[in-house]
Amino acid sequence: MPLNYAGLWTVPLAKLAPDLKAPVHGRDKYAPEDIDYALSFRPEPGLLKSLPNLKVVFSLGAGVDGFLTDPTYPRNVPLVRFVDHGLSREMTQYVVMHALMFHRQQRYFDHAQTERKWRQTFPPRPTEDTRIGILGLGEIGTMAGAYLRDLDFQVAGWSRTRKNVAGIESFAGTGELHAFLARSDILVCLLPLTPDTRNILNRETFAALPKGAFVINAARGGHLVEDDLIAAIDSGHLAGAALDVFQTEPLPESSPLWAHPKIAVTPHVAGMSDPWAATRWVLDAMARHARGEKLANIVDMALGY
Ligand code: NAP
């Protein structure tokens, strides 16, 4: 069922905080100076700057690129992002599912089924010899990595700073990116979209992966140069990809990604914030803020995540 975004949040807000005045921009009338807190995901550029008394902005999603790509975002106002076990779990399910679909050749068997063909084959390589590389070993990347590690894959993560996670090899910084890519049979992108990571999934990156590698992008469409991916798959260097996010969303009907036989497309649904959990989180954080307590998960404006 298509989603009505404003309705998703107004129902839990009305139930959980019936006395709170929470106008919906574009639907309700409000005075900009009356707004203390803003809840959003991709606000229209300039909107937050127009609210002179804003104390905190809450991102209803884990990624905050929808705020920081607005050059007028008021950088003195703390931006807090949604970090939630349920959201990380949904994202992990998406990543594990596509890693296994590739590893177990499920698309090949789906196709054989359409032809009523009994085509038995072994997986391309044993699980213990299959190396998964996760770009971004943060909240979501660490959880996804732990599940894949527990399935006996060889898991490594790449992050800005060195990590110490049991059974997951840590690569850090641009100096170690190439070595990380060279050992990744399945590459998973779970990075935030920042000026440093935009277009990171490009021709050079794909060329550094082993032949036959598979790419999963569940982070942001801005990470991927889509034409470079198609070229790397069509040349036979990459085996395929699973994409949940795109340079332009909704993905235009004319995009060649829709019909590519080696690419799985989903409409940005890998991890959707649960409106009830997010509303509880916002109300709790507002109460903490009103008591003068420090908020968790404040975005570092210099890093952009
Ligand atoms: P997070 O906790 O902030 O983790 C980000 C990770 O990326 C950290 O490990 C960080 O390294 C690393 N990183 C950032 N910039 C880097 C750089 N320049 N070089 C190397 N590593 C870098 O984020 P998260 O909560 O896991 O979420 C990740 C992303 O998933 C979000 O930003 C969002 O875009 C995406 N997402 C998508 C969906 C969906 O439905 N498709 C849903 C939820 C989230 P350090 O740890 O060293 O700082």
Query: What digits encode the pLDDT tens for the residues 234-281?
Result: 999 999 999 999 999 999 999 999 999 999 999 999 999 999 999 999
Any atom of ligand 1 within 6 Å of the Cβ of 268:
yes
Atom 18, ligand 1: residue with shortest CA distance: 196
Assess whether the C-beta atom of 157 lies below 6 angstroms from ligand 1. Answer: no
Going from the Cα of 191 to the center of ligand 1, the distance in angstroms, rounded, reads 4
Mutate to test the pocket of ligand 1, among 94, 137, 140, 269 (most ligand atoms within 8 A of CB): 140
Residue 62 near ligand 1, beta carbon < 6 Å? yes
Catalytic residues: 220, 268
Kindly report the protein residue whose alpha carbon is nearest to atom 44 of ligand 1: 62
Q: Provide the CB-side half-sphere exposure for 206 (13 A, CA).
A: 28
CA 200 to ligand 1 center in whole angstroms: 13
Q: What are phi and psi of 39, to 5 degrees?
A: -115, 125
**Separation CA 149–CA 188 (nearest Å):** 14
Q: Check if 51 has its Cβ closer than 6 Å to any atom of ligand 1.
A: no
Is the distance from the beta carbon of residue 82 to the nearest atom of ligand 1 less than 6 Å? no
Whether the domain at 3-84+273-290 and the domain at 85-265 fall into the same CATH topology: yes
Instruction: Please give the pLDDT value at position 1.
Output: 46
pLDDT at 3: 62
Regarding the beta carbon of 244 and ligand 1, being less than 6 Å apart is answered yes
The Å distance, Cα 214 to ligand 1 centre, comes to 20
Of the candidate CATH numbers 3.40.640.10, 3.30.1330.20, 3.40.50.720, 3.40.190.10, the domain formed by 85-265 belongs to: 3.40.50.720
Query: If you take atom 45 of ligand 1, which residue's CA is the nearest one?
Result: 160
Q: Using CA atoms, how far apart are residues 170 and 161, in angstroms rounded to an integer?
A: 9
**β-bridge partners, 213:** 238
Q: What is the pLDDT of residue 232?
A: 99
- Return the ∠ at Cα 264 (arms to 262 and 268), rounded to 5°: 155
Domains in the chain: boundaries: 3-84+273-290, 85-265
What pLDDT, on the 0 to 100 scale, is given for residue 4?
62
Residue 159 Cβ < 6 Å to ligand 1: yes
Is beta strand 168-172 parallel, antiparallel or unpaired with respect to 186-189?
Answer: unpaired
The parts of the chain modelled with pLDDT lower than 50 are 1
The verdict on pTM exceeding 0.95 is: yes
Q: How far is the CA of 225 from the centre of ligand 1 (A)?
A: 18
**CATH code for residues 3-84+273-290:** 3.40.50.720
Q: Which ligand 1 atom lies nearest to the CA of residue 272? A: 40
The CA 85 to ligand 1 mean position distance, Å, reads 15
